[in-house]
Amino acid sequence: MREAAEAQQQAAVTVTAPAFVPACPGAGKTYVITSRHLQSPRRLLRKGRALISFTRVARDQMARRCRQAGRADLVQAPHFIGTLDSFLWEFLVKPLRKADPMPRLLESWASVKALVEGVDREISLHRFPMTLAPSHNSAHGKVAWDKLDYDTRQLIDASSCSRSVWEEKILATRKSWCEQGYFTGHEVRAVALWNLRNAEAAAALLPPLQSRFAEIIVDEAQDCSAADLAILQLLHDADLPLVLVGDPDQAIYAWRGAEPEALGAFAARLSPTPHRLTGNWRSSPVICRLAATLRTGQRPPDTSVVRDDNIPVLLLPTLFAATGSRHIHAPTGTGIVGAFRTLTEEYAVPAQDCLVTAYRYATLPGISREKPNTNAITSLAWARTVAHTPGASGDDLARACAIAVRALFGYWYPGQSGRPDRIMATHRLPADQVNRTAFAFLHSLPAPHKEWGPQVWQAMKAWPALPGAAPQGGKGRLAGKPILSRPQPATGIRTNIVHQLKGDEADGVLLLLPDTGSVQRWATANPATDEVLRVWYVAVTRARRLAAIALPQEETDALARLLAGHHIPLRIA
């Protein structure tokens, strides 16, 4: 089995571009991509290779492997290792932007104090998701009204202004910020498409790309939106060799336009013969067989390469609460996470190697991560919690600090727009001084509660200001009430939604399926068109040794029969 899996990997390492490499979970995609890159000769080349991912984690992992192999030259020009956003920005957008104002790429509009104004209430720009059709000839696109989060939808529905008025103000706000030099990934894609379709712009952009890159590799290609694929098609048409690596069965970002059928159609044009990786170096044979029931094409299970664990799939009959804090394991009457922890101990799976996941944040017990699209007071409450949490991760602490800086700067410098770094440059504020001030402010705040807002406001007014501060009355006050995070369960088991788990894994994984009808969906829906099944597929394939599923008590027997029909060992516990 190992020999066959290694042979597949080696074939993918040496395949001639253009090519498509469908890779099952745990197939070693990063190993294949970096091995392909490591074959580059050591001498200085005029042409390099671009390794493109969708996350900074994957980017950093690929760069780290090159350095560990003694090939630091492979992370430098003429090569490129980065996210798709940064690639499009550096090579298809920024070269044609004016130097003044300095163009800047933002992770999201939440990074700046971008408010939609001129209507009957102010709402942060980042709370309005946008949609961009590949044929759209605009740098702004349209508002995806059907993708609004609940809180934003409530605010809009209560507004006296129509959605057309809101859309006009939203697009005007985005345009204004773009004119100041700020762009997010959405605008970058719109501009990149326009540039590639404009003969004069393309004539300026494509020759440097063709000269610099002998190959462009796109990791996690299943996450490409229709606009991303349109851009890649234009690069392919310009004779830039492409290699796409990904798993259409893990396409779980339909909300931003990623669909497996679109990738399949593009991959077929790119390369009629895919070079499939079916060796799973992560999961046990039982988990591989479980995952095969949730994917398209009725293909046989992937091959477990390095594991021989035979731990059965655990089915946990559960009484689900409306929210994730009080899900009860029906047979024992204890909390579901505690029951899961007890069961994993039987199989010698430690707590730190366990993970509980679900489709929605509301389903998760003890969620402590910052939720997307929250209001500013809720984000600050999360940041305060992180600052008081022993052992908080460096990423969470950095995010908490950034939130506190934005809150303080919104009060101290109300008339100044732009990211905090621009305000810091204007007033010559050292970053370490700003960060120390932000952390001290967070530590000074009382624990969040429903009436926390007035206390935060008093603390902001009393806190010693940094140089150049010029508060103006109530500007910068954080409105609303915080949505309070529940404390983490004492088990020490990690929790997160499935959409945040790409690239993650654990010895034991518990997937929560609270909705009635989940088993019927599992048995009859088509994963090619049902993203929920693909979300469940991603969840169970995070597991190395043990997979557990909590579902309504009355549906447990039906799922047991379904899995038994596929000869999957299971245990109702």
506 labelled binding-site residue = no
30 labelled binding-site residue = yes
95 labelled binding-site residue = no
SS3 218: strand
- C-alpha dihedral sign at 213, 217, 222, 223: negative
Hey, how many other C-beta atoms are within 10 angstroms of the C-beta on 65? 19
473 labelled binding-site residue = no
118 labelled binding-site residue = no
To 5 degrees, how large is the angle CA 138–CA 140–CA 144? 120
Taking the C-alpha atoms of residue 122 and residue 155, their distance in angstroms, rounded to an integer, is 10
Residues 411/470, Cβ–Cβ less than 8 Å? no
26 labelled binding-site residue = yes
24 labelled binding-site residue = yes
Question: Which residue carries 């900074």 as its tokens?
Answer: 56
29 labelled binding-site residue = yes
Query: Nearest-CA neighbor of 244 among 527, 529, 54?
Result: 54
DSSP 521: H
Long-range CB pairs of 14-18, under 8 A, 24+ apart, other chains included: 14/39, 15/243, 15/275, 17/215, 17/241, 17/242, 17/243, 18/236, 18/241, 18/242, 18/243, 18/270, 18/271
480-506 burial, b if ≥16 CB within 10 A, otherwise e? eebbebeebbebebbbbbbbebbeebb
SS3 571: strand
In the beta sheet, which residues pair with residue 358? 497
User: Which residue ranges are tagged as binding site?
Assistant: 23-30
User: Which residue ranges are tagged as binding site for ATP?
Assistant: 23-30
